[in-house]
Chain A
Amino acid sequence: MIKKKICMLGAFAVGKTSLVQRFVNSIFSEKYQTTIGVKIDQKLVQTGDTEVNLMLWDIHGEDNYQKVKPSYIMGASGYFVVVDVTREETLGVGLNLQKMANEMSKGAPFIVLINKTDLPQSEWYISETSINELKDKGLEIILTSAKEGTGVEEAFSRLTELMINK
């Protein structure tokens, strides 16, 4: 069985823990619970004939009080950069973390998850134009909602596929 380490990166309160909990345990909680350090979960997935044990490193959110340590990313086969669609600044934080992760993981595949898309479009601060601009720059983007489960399975399957085929 193949083991792959996936890191969840992003600003605080973007929904990293919720995405992992939705994927691993199919649950969602409205209550925001800040993550201290890193929490590791595992999930077995099947990709074609290959069984993969995903080690999900749910890393604390980045802000002025907690900076993500590069050592957390060491050994990662892939990672998600999670962004809150209602908080514009989380995109900048996410993209900065991506630069660091790219160096530490030696170019491991990653996907940008634009999360909380269940919220009304009137509250979206990341416009479709910005999303398309990111896509034009070659970033793979998936719109997700940990609350409703939208895009979550797809995101993890796609990243697993990218990691296996690398």
Chain B
Amino acid sequence: MLKDLPLKIVEYLVEEIPPYSGLLMIKVDNRGVVKNWKGNPKEYLGGKLTENESIEELVPALNGICPFDKGSVKLTKLQLKNKYCDIHVVKENGHYWIIFIDQTREVDSLKSLLQNMNEEQLKGRGNKTNSKEMPFRHLDKLNFATFLRKDDGSFSLQPNTPGWIKKHAFYNKASGSIDPISTFPFLEIFILEVEEFWKENKESYVVSETWSETFAGKDHYLRAYATNLNNSNYLFLKSFIREGVEEQNLLQAFRDSSLAFDKLAKTEKKLKELLVYKNKFNSIISHDLRAPIAAVLGVVNVLTTDEEEIGKLNEDYQELIYGIKDEMNRLLDYNNKLYHWANLELGNFKLEFETISLDEIIKIATETAREKCNEKNIALTINVEAGLKVRVDKTLFLQALNNLLSNAIKFTPISNSIKITAKKDDDKAFISVVDTGIGMNDDMVKNLFKESTNNTTQGTSGEKGTGLGLGIIKKIIEAHKFKITVKSVPGKGTVFTIEIPESNLA
């Protein structure tokens, strides 16, 4: 229940509402309209809760308190349909959380105490001697052991002793006494504060922090209280096993989460370090591979462009040489993409913006793509609104367009068509690459930009991919703070659209 709550509310719960008991929390706006809730409304309000209901109608006790902007609200021991509750209203980020804190158990125990006291008063009307001699005689019902401080500084345990203290090994059954200070070392320090308080003879009380002791086979959470009444000094000890355990469980849950979060954060840090290492490794290797690949390609190009030389080889060898050329070009492309990918991941680039006409940059991109289009007999049409100028990093943006076009060609069957359009609409520019290819289903679209080389699919003519192309596009578009969207229909085609904001239009 607590894990989705805002931190401010969690802190409020821990600070203001220990020990933890049952909770219902309803989020409302400042007019008291229900927006959200945590916990079981039926248990507290006796019925279902629906969004946009008025909290005043649900909880008449809150009538007249809404709107809440008058400040924080705390109501105590209100009888709701099924429970007694304290109600706190806490403001958080423009909304209000109404926290219903179950006090039924406390009210029930107080009820019996008040009942006893009232009955006693009714029976002994006119005789107040007893209540003066033993003013706290009913507190045992709330698990309090009461001690009266004697003139010599020792403490006498008052009658009506709760069961828990009688179980302590230091309790003297014969005399019905126990010395609180030597029994509970915690009190050695607290009593110094209490002595000061008693000296001041104030009509108030002091409360210790919580401490725990193990006796009679049980962990007891204890708290001490001190007050004075009719010139007598009293010390009280209260054991609250259940509330203590609940408070411990709540804190335990928070701390377990915190430890798990720390572990995750450390793992994430390590993984990031490993990723940087991997990218550096890729960047270095792909950079160093460029020269030998280019050298081999150079030799192959010399061979294939020199008709006299290539003519000396028989057909099988010629095919082999052309095969080597294709594979080396693919290897170079793959290696270049790996190099760009690694450097984009490492952030080893700085955008150098320049103003360029969209017409010009699209023209450059389509010139590169034209050869591949011709190989598959794909008709490539361009429709760019005249006069559109954008501020981009020309090299990187061109790379993104090249990758988009390569991708479109790869997945468009032979003799189909691809269209690239650019237009201004509502102060933004949109570049779309529209293919009539195989398209994708929703799942594929959803995972399209995920950084995984497992998502590679062969093209319509068996073209192989690196799985890096779309990732590179995404990195470049994000670096420009542009947006890219995809629409696709299986069997019909795909549209990739780059949205360029007004700030990058010239």
Residues of A within 8 A of B (CB): 12-13, 32-40, 42, 55, 61, 63-66, 69, 71-72, 74-75, 87, 125
- A72-B189, A74-B189, A75-B192 known, 20 other contacts, Cβ within 8 Å: A12-B258, A13-B259, A32-B252, A32-B259, A33-B252, A36-B210, A36-B244, A37-B211, A38-B186, A38-B211, A38-B212, A39-B211, A39-B214, A40-B211, A61-B255, A64-B11, A65-B251, A71-B189, A71-B193, A125-B266
Q: Is the interface of A mostly helix, strand, loop or mixed?
A: loop
Looking at the complex, which one of A34, A72, A125 makes contact with B209 (CB distance below 8 Å)? A72
Which of A12, A33, A36 counts the most chain B CB atoms within 10 A? A36
Q: How far is the CA of A35 from the CA of B11 in the complex (A)?
A: 18
Interface size on B, residues (CB 8 A): 30
Residue from B212, B214, B254, B266 within 8 A of A37 (CB atoms): B212
Residues from chain B with a CB closer than 8 A to the CB of A13 are 255, 259
Whole-angstrom distance from the CB of B305 to the nearest CB of chain A?
57
A35 smallest CB distance to B (angstroms)? 8
| B256 interfacial by beta-carbon distance below 8 Å | yes
| Closest chain A CB from B502 CB (angstroms) | 44
Determine which residue in B185, B186, B252, B266 has the highest number of CB atoms from chain A within 10 A of its CB, and name it.
B185
Given contacts A36-B244, A63-B258, contact A42 B189 (CB under 8 A): no
Contact with A along B257-270 (1 / 0, CB 8 A): 01100100010000
Instruction: Give complex CA distance A55, B188 in Å.
Output: 11
In angstroms, Cα B248 to Cα A35, docked, is 7
A27 nearest CB across to chain B (Å): 13
Contact of B251 among A36, A40, A42, A74 (CB under 8 A): A36
From 77 to 111 in chain B, residues with beta carbon under 8 angstroms from any chain A beta carbon are: none
Q: Is the CB of A34 within 8 A of B185?
A: no
Inter-chain contacts of B262 with A (CB < 8 A): 87
Task: Please tell me if the beta carbons of A71 and B209 are within 8 angstroms of each other in the complex.
Answer: yes
The reply to whether B192 and A36 form a contact with Cβ atoms under 8 Å apart is no
**Residue contact B221 to A36, C-beta cutoff 8 Å:** yes
Does B284 interact with chain A (Cβ within 8 Å)?
Answer: no
Interface check B271, CB cutoff 8 A: no
A-B contact pairs, 8 of them (CB 8 A): A32-B252, A32-B256, A34-B255, A37-B221, A39-B211, A40-B211, A64-B11, A71-B193
With contacts A69-B209, A71-B209 taken as known, whether A36 is within 8 angstroms of B189 at the C-beta atoms is no
B14 within 8 A of A: yes
| A71 partner residues in chain B, CB cutoff 8 A | 189-190, 193, 209
Contacts of B177-220 to chain A: CB distance below 8 A: 184-186, 188-190, 192-193, 209-214
Give the complex CA separation of A33 and B212 in angstroms. Answer: 13
Cβ–Cβ < 8 Å partners of A34 in chain B: 248, 251-252, 255
Flag if B209 contacts A38 (CB, 8 Å). Answer: yes
